[in-house]
Amino acid sequence: MLCVLGILSLMGLWELFKAQDLLWKPFAITAIVVDVLYYILIRFFDRPYISLYMVFLFTLFAITNIIIYVITYAQSDLHDVFASFFGVFYVGVSLSFLYITRVHPWGAYLVWLAIISSWGCDVCAYLVGMLIGKHRIFPQISPKKTIEGCIGGIVGSSVLAFVYALCVKGYILDLKNEMIIFPIVCMAGAVIGMFGDLFASAIKRKVGIKDYSSLLPGHGGILDRFDSVILVSPIIFVVTILVRLLDI
């Protein structure tokens, strides 16, 4: 799973930098190198001092980009520096939370909440919006999205989470209230995922492209398919930690 997520993050970075005409520029190369090193460190995230190594990695990343910007000042744009940082955290670090959640106790079950709350919401929102959607929301970013569709996506993801909780009930021995926790988590994840979808669409609108790539027929690129999962993954991880700390 770690290898797959690492590959997906690299592909997502490639699409993001291509959309911003950053491919093969020094700032994009440093971001890709740091992304690879970060995923190597994630493999050992439970080892002593690993957090210090990560802090050192991102500090070195910042220093390297600063040096490159000073040396290439005449040819460089300050936007490229910030885009490099943003790309690593937005795509690479956010996606890695799926793996971090997965390797926690009963993470094999909880990690699916990220999928249910993002892709489940997408499907339900599409169906409801197609059937009864009338009132547009954020038309400048995504003209087809409606308020009815958004509500349908949130409610639909919670229903799917409840069904999922029925299926895994009894497998997660330390969890007492999955029938309540899962739907609430997925409702919150659905809302965050919608903003992730809208944000990815906003970037495409700004740079004037329809899809990030044609890698996935009918879907577009990696970012087109994982735009909501990217923002939901850290939320699911935080909830996992809270559930364990609060013993609920």
The reply to whether 118 and 74 lie within a common domain is: no
Final residue in a domain of this structure, among 102, 125, 140: 102
**pTM for the model:** 0.87
The reply to whether 143 and 63 lie within a common domain is: no
Residue positions counted in the chain:
248
pLDDT band, very low/low/confident/very high, at 245 (cuts 50, 70, 90):
low
Dist CA 149 CA 130 (whole Å): 8
74: containing domain: 2-102
Contact of 234 with 97, CB cutoff 8 Å: yes
Dist CA 21 CA 16 (whole Å): 9
Final residue in a domain of this structure, among 78, 102, 126: 102
Q: How many CB atoms lie within 10 A of CB 145?
A: 22
The reply to whether 230 and 133 lie within a common domain is: yes
The reply to whether 128 and 77 lie within a common domain is: no
Final residue in a domain of this structure, among 73, 102, 131: 102
Percent of the chain with pLDDT over 70: 97
Contact of 124 with 157, CB cutoff 8 Å: yes
Please count the structural domains in the chain. Answer: 2
> Residue 159 region, left (φ>0) first, then alpha (ψ -120 to 50), else beta?
alpha
The reply to whether 8 and 74 lie within a common domain is: yes
Q: What is the pLDDT of residues 100-113, one digit of tens each?
A: 888 887 788 888 99
In this prediction, residue 97 carries a pLDDT of 92
The reply to whether 48 and 157 lie within a common domain is: no
Q: What is the pLDDT of residues 215-243, one digit of tens each?
A: 877 778 888 888 889 999 998 888 877 77
The reply to whether 48 and 131 lie within a common domain is: no
